[in-house]
Amino acid sequence: MYLNFTISKILGLFPYRIKTLSFEISKPRYILWMIILCVTCVNELIMLYKLNLSKNIKIDVPKLISINFSLMYGMFVAVNSYILSGSRMRLLQNISGISSILPQKTYQKLSKLIHAKDIFGFLFHLWIALIYILYSELMIFGLLEGTRIFVSLIAFQTDMLYVNCVCVLKACFKEINNNIETLLKLVKKNIPKWIYHEQRHPFLLIKLKTLKKHHLMISDTVQMMNAIFSLYLLATIALCFLQIVFYMYFNVLYWQNGICLNTDKIYSINFISFLMYYGMKLILPVWACETSKNQAIKIGTTIHDVINSTSDVQIKNELNLFSLQILHCNNTFSAKGFTVDATLLTEVSD
């Protein structure tokens, strides 16, 4: 996640100092983030005042509602990031600890995925910012528009941080499932009975207890993520759906005015790029949460396969305890009661 951390440091969003595998609050960065927060909130309030109380800006009602929601979302993102900076530090510390179970090969694959996603996302966001600057109709606040671009970049980096954390947890769930599948292969082998009890039996029990402990730590981290990111996810999902609806509405009006996308290339690029931007902000977290949840569910199925394949009483008891632990652990990612998975998209679409 170092790319995400580096960009966040540049933005002043990362008030931490990394020492080996630990995170500590950095006072200079924390003060910098406080200054950035104050400047951002003041600029957002000025834009809200100009938009709603000043008579200098005159736009239609749907666009007025859309910009108001965007400005309020920007203030919420900045304040929420500042308030929960300590909680996020503890979350990153936990994820750093539980990811130690991952082998080097898994680390490399996960690192490539996360870095590719972060690089593409950052470059795409720069492209959106360039379009926003070049498309003069969007620039209604003058120099204050720089604050809106800055806040959107903060929100996007927060999205990437959330998706990265979920991907790490998914890899941890997958590693536990792989270890249980290895255990299943050992159980199915035709090992002489005296060798099995003297050598394999203690090893398998110790391995199971270790996997139970790791699974419980991962489940606790999932609940911590839900507590930290719930409000942010809810606001982001609401904003994405709202902006997609408004952009589609503006596009219909554009067609009704006799203007076609093919004759206005600038508008066409703007329309498609912003739809892709909000769609990506919505789909990436849903994809990460859905695949992670499925990986967590798969562990229970694998455990029952091992139970059905072994006749050892102690191993069966330990596996049953593991199965009960999985039933009591809720490893779904949610935002204030709304489960973040594929069903969220289908329900809202309906």
Measured distance CA(350)–CA(345) in Å, rounded: 9
Least confident of 58-72, 142-156, 193-207, 292-306: 193-207
CA-to-CA dists, residue 152 to 39, 54, 146, 158, angstroms: 15, 24, 10, 10
User: Residues of the chain with pLDDT > 90: what percent?
Assistant: 0
Per-residue pLDDT tens digits for 117-141? 888 888 888 887 777 776 655 566 6
What's the domain count of the chain?
Answer: 1
CB 292 within 8 A of CB 332: no
Biggest distance spanned by C-alpha atoms of the chain? 89
Q: Rounded to an integer, what distance in angstroms lies between the CA atom of residue 46 and that of residue 141?
A: 9
Strand partners, 334: 339
- Residue 77's alpha-carbon distances to 33, 74, 186, in angstroms, are 13, 5, 50
Provide the whole-model pTM. 0.85
**What's the average model confidence in pLDDT over 70-94?**
84
pLDDT of residue 48: 82
The rounded distance, in Å, linking the Cα atoms of 247 and 243 is 6
- Our CA angle for 109, 110, 115, nearest 5°, is 105
Contact of 5 with 26, CB cutoff 8 Å:
no
DSSP 8-state assignment for residue 101: G
8 Å CB contact between 51 and 64: yes
pLDDT at 297: 87
Convert the pLDDT of each residue in 241-287 to its tens digit.
888 887 777 666 555 554 444 445 556 677 777 788 888 888 888 88
Q: At what angle do helices 104-134 and 265-309 cross, to 10 degrees?
A: 160
At 40, list the tokens: 């951002």
* Number of residues written out for the chain: 350
Bridge-partner residues for 335, per DSSP? Answer: 338
Q: Which range has the worst mean pLDDT, 27-36, 95-104, 218-227, 333-342?
A: 333-342
The type of residue at 94 is N
- To the nearest whole number, what is the mean pLDDT of the chain? 78
At residue 25, the pLDDT reads 77
Residue 6 — very low, low, confident or very high, per pLDDT cuts 50/70/90?
confident
Query: CA dihedral in degrees (169, 172, 176, 181; nearest 10)?
Result: 100
- Domain residues for the domain of 314 are 2-349
The pLDDT value given to residue 347:
64
pLDDT for res 349:
57
